[in-house]
Amino acid sequence: MSRKILIVIVMLVLAAFIGGSLMAADPAKPDDKPAAAATKAAAKFEYVGKDKCKLCHKLKEYDSWLTTAHAKAWESLKPEEQKKDSCIVCHTTGKDATGTMLTGVQCEACHGAGSAYKTQANMKDKKLALAAGLTEPTKAVCVKCHNDKSPTFKGFDFDKYLKDPKGMHKLFPKAAPAEKKG
């Protein structure tokens, strides 16, 4: 009888392994790769929250970000909307390692979860920071929320939005970073 149990356990482990491998396959279309990469990065790294970011970016990016609609995204929701998953997903950044909801569209919503790239050594070396989860805000990052699934969507012109101080903090690059192909 113990041999039968062992065989069943081995078969279950193999089924779980094969099923996990199939689920890990990236079904993204080629033009979805930047968004898929950002999602994978978020899964590997943890959010640290705006207060960690402002330790180094207080006088420029953080203070400028405070004036944007992104900083006020959570407050823009009605109390009943703050309970809807369909609203929470775009009006928050996610949860930090303690499970605390990071309300508003904080730094990491656009720049990736910062647990690994937040160190000075990584921030001084762009390649290291990118490898450690830093995301360059591209159109693919923005359209995860700025799309026709939003009940308030009125169109989204990425190039125009880059220059809008209500949406972008002041030190955002003047030209959009190039989308990576292939």
Most confident range, picked from 12-26, 31-45, 167-181: 167-181
When mean pLDDT is compared across 77-81, 101-105, 118-122, the lowest value belongs to: 118-122
**What is the tens place of the pLDDT at every residue in 133-155?**
999 989 999 999 999 988 888 89
What domains, with CATH codes, occur in the chain? 30-162 (1.10.1130.10)
Summary mean pLDDT of the chain: 79
CA angle 110, 33, 93 (to 5 degrees): 25
Beta carbons of 113 and 48 less than 8 angstroms apart: yes
Report the predicted TM-score, pTM, of the whole model to 2 decimal places.
0.67
pLDDT of residue 13: 56
| pLDDT band at 77; cut points 50, 70, 90 | very high
pLDDT of residue 58: 82
Which has more confidence, 128 or 166?
128
Average confidence (pLDDT) over 147-172: 82
DSSP H helix total and E strand total for the chain: 10, 2
Q: Which two tokens stand for residue 149?
A: 């699934």
Task: List CB contacts of 180: < 8 A, sequence separation 6 or more.
Answer: 33, 34
Which has more confidence, 31 or 92?
92
Buried-state track 138-165, b at ≥16 Cβ within 10 A, e below 16: bbbbbeebbeeeeeeeeeeeeeebbeee
- Sign, Cα dihedral of 24, 25, 28, 33: positive
Beta carbons of 34 and 138 less than 8 angstroms apart: yes
